[in-house]
Structure 1
Amino acid sequence: MRYTHPYNKIGDRAMAHRNGVVLIVGEDCLAQVRTLSSLASLDYVDRVSMRTAVVASAQDWARAMFGDEPDLAERAIWHGLLRLRLSPSRSRDTLAGWRIAAVERDWIRLEADSGLVSGNLIVTTGDGRVALTTCLSYRHVAGRVVWGVLAPIHRTLAPSLVRTAESRLGRSQVAP
């Protein structure tokens, strides 16, 4: 029997609205992400978006979400469980260990991969909105199993990443 997890395949979908943050999983965010993702196939996609008055580049938003280096929890999940090959040190070409693969003012794509999964984190801005899209392609059945366990945790934590980034960027835009 093949392992599947709810909302773990493209075609499944779920939406949640909390404090102005919208989480979309699966088919509903595919059209928007296909042009920005570097992955040949997409096995998992979700997008967290929200309206914001904060004006900043996508790279600034991504840096506010993830920082320059992964924290201990991110390292445990990304490197430890997903086995993603992250940059071991701070660099102008990385954010939180993920390689900056493409960047424009209104979007940035971070990439990392392992023997289990290949992933993109895509941050987009514009029209008074910011969004974080997570894209995964499973490279091994174990990747599907590991992500099946981590996906609900990810969908719980991702909205707070966007909210926290808004708070950080908003504080930096306040005149002294």
Structure 2
Amino acid sequence: MSLTIATRVLDDASVSPTTRTLSTLNRIDYVDEFTARTEVTAAPEQWARVMFGDEPQPLARFIWQGLLKLDLLPGRSADTIAGWPVTGRGEDWIRLTTQSREMGAELVVQAGGGSVSLSTFVRYDQPGGRRRWVRLSRVHRLLAPSILRDADATLSSSVLVSSSPGSSSPAGP
């Protein structure tokens, strides 16, 4: 299946009021949104766990902790996804929040109505945070569509497996 992904890099003023209310950052210096149409029906938390894992993969850990200096929590937990604390949940969204001394960051996954979205919100607290994010946001914008595509493929195959005759396991990871 070919997945079409719309990418929007926004400023705080152009964020939809609905999406803006999902961020708890007091100021938004950077925001982007990646949206894909999908036939997969899954909860936002399921999408987020498939996108990022229960624990961060080595490359994600290197980017988040090594390069961006973000604080990640160790181990697996119902209250974290890839080391990011889950700071809010709704029927069609989940928010992950972390920070460093230089920046605050949130990832918001929204799912429903035949689409899934990943929004990234960043607040610069120090000049170093801005410098780091400006450089790495290019990589982020290259990787995010693949993260959505891979999650869609994984969830599509798990839905097919769970709905096959004789299978009694629920869909998802």
Q: TM (normalized to structure 2)?
A: 0.88
Q: Superposed, which structure 2 residues align to 1:23-34 within 5 Å?
A: 23-27=7-11, 28-34=14-20
Q: Distance in 1 between matches of 2:45 and 2:151?
A: 12
Q: Which runs of 5+ in 2 are unaligned?
A: 165-173
Which runs of no fewer than 5 residues in structure 1 stay unpaired?
Answer: 1-17
Is the contact made by 1:48 and 1:133 (CA closer than 8 Å) also made in structure 2?
A: yes
Match of 2:55, SS state, is coil
Q: Is the 8 A contact 1:29 1:47 kept in 2?
A: no
1:89 — aligned with what?
75
The alignment status of 1:20 with 2:4, answered yes or no, reads yes
Q: Deviations over 1:57-111 (max 9, x none)?
A: 0000001100100011111110111111101111111000000001122100000
Give the TM-score of the pair, scaled to structure 1: 0.87
- Structure 1 counterpart of 2:109: 123
Within the alignment, does 1:102 sit opposite 2:98 as a pair? no
Contact 1:119–1:135 at 8 Å: present in 2 too?
A: yes
Whether 1:79 and 2:71 are equivalent positions in the alignment is no
SS at match of 1:55: coil
Q: Deviations over 1:36-55 (max 9, x none)?
A: 00100000000000110000
SS in 1 for 2:74: coil
**Displacement of 1:113 after TM fit?**
0.5
2:116 and 2:153 mapped to 1: Cα distance? 13
CA RMSD of aligned residues (A): 1.3
Q: Deviations over 1:132-151 (max 9, x none)?
A: 00000001100000011101
Match of 1:49 among 18, 35, 51: 35
Alignment pair present for 1:160 and 2:146: yes
Number of positions where the alignment pairs a residue of Structure 1 with one of Structure 2: 159
1:145 to 102, 112, 131: 131
Residues of 1 paired with 2:76 and 2:41: CA distance? 25
Greater than 4 Å deviation, 4+ residue runs: none
Give identity over the alignment, percent: 42
19 and 169 in structure 1: CA distance in 2 versus 1, 3 angstrom threshold: closer
Give the deviation of 1:33 after TM superposition.
2.2
Supply the distance in 2 between the matched residues of 1:130 and 1:48 (Cα, whole angstroms). 8
Paired with 1:64 and 1:105, the residues of 2 have a C-alpha distance of: 18
**What is the alpha-carbon distance in structure 1 between the residues aligned to residue 17 and residue 140 of structure 2?**
22
